[in-house]
Amino acid sequence: MDVTIYHNPECGTSRKVLAALQDAGHAPQVVDYRKTGWTREQLASLFGRIGVTPRQALRTKGALAGELGLLDGASDDAILDAMVQHPILVERPIVETEKGARLCRPAETVRELL
Which residue positions in the chain have pLDDT lower than 70? none
Q: What confidence score (pLDDT) does residue 53 get?
A: 97
Q: What confidence score (pLDDT) does residue 62 get?
A: 84
85-108 residue pLDDT tens: 999 999 999 999 999 999 999 999
Residue environment code for 40-63, b if the CB has 16+ CB neighbours within 10 A, otherwise e: eeebeebbeebebebeebbbeeee
Q: What confidence score (pLDDT) does residue 1 get?
A: 79
The Cα 52–Cα 63 span in angstroms is 22
The Cα 24–Cα 3 span in angstroms is 11
Q: What confidence score (pLDDT) does residue 72 get?
A: 86
Cα torsion 6, 82, 109, 49: sign: negative
Of 1, 8, 9, 11, catalytic: 11
Whether 11 sits among the annotated catalytic residues: the reply is yes
The Cα 98–Cα 1 span in angstroms is 7
Domains detected in the chain = 4-113 (3.40.30.10)
Residue 100's region, left for phi above 0, alpha for psi from -120 to 50, else beta, is: left
